[in-house]
Amino acid sequence: MTKVNSKFVNYYFLCENNNKTYKMKNLILITIIGVALFTGCTNNNAGTDTKTAAKDTTLKYFGDTITMDGAVNADQLTTSIKGKDSLKIKLSGKIESVCQKKGCWMKMNIGNNQEMMVRFKDYGFFVPKDVSGKEVVIEGVAFHDTTKVDELKHYAEDAGKSKEEIAKITEPEINISFEAHGVIIKK
């Protein structure tokens, strides 16, 4: 066996001793450390949740991953938010319309001939433009909101309304809005 001239290597790996026992112990120690570092840095999927592995293919997820558990029917929102500025809630209902430019907002029926504007947290995700009429679960914050005339006109334009319909918008609306951080759409 050839001897390495480096004093550092000689000291740590050969213990400045030609004794084969020291060489073998150091070789085993280096191997164990290397295996431990390599094993510690690999991605171990042994703890994978079976729910994640077997996702329901009839559902589409957008934004944060949420569950359908505990969702309240959207027509109960007006009663639940009464007397409050805002309310963290999970709702289920029907999508009435969607932004036809990007899918950056949608409207949901909340009962009593009312629709609720749903925007997506931090403009961080969009929904497909062809999901009107689909069942949906959303999670986030419902709040009372005043929508200005210029915003209402913008939303009407995004929804594909005619110039005549847009021109008829002259008053702000006070309504319930929603900021969703997670959305599930049933296919």
If one counts every other C-beta atom within 10 angstroms of the C-beta of residue 111, the result is: 15
**Where, residue-wise, is CATH 2.40.50 in the chain?**
56-186
Q: What is the pLDDT of residues 75-125, one digit of tens each?
A: 999 999 999 999 999 999 999 999 999 999 999 999 988 999 999 999 999
What is the pTM for the complete model shown?
Answer: 0.64
Q: What are phi and psi for residue 73, nearest 5 degrees?
A: -60, 135
Number of DSSP helices (H) and strands (E) in the chain, helices first:
6, 7
Q: Which architecture, in CATH terms, is 56-186?
A: Beta Barrel (2.40)
Q: What is the pLDDT of residues 41-89, one digit of tens each?
A: 444 433 333 344 456 789 999 999 999 999 999 999 999 999 999 999 9
- How many Å apart are CA 14 and CA 25, to the nearest integer? 9
Taking phi first (over 0 means left), then psi (-120 to 50 degrees means alpha), and beta for anything else, what does residue 140 get?
Answer: left
- How many Å apart are CA 145 and CA 105, to the nearest integer? 15
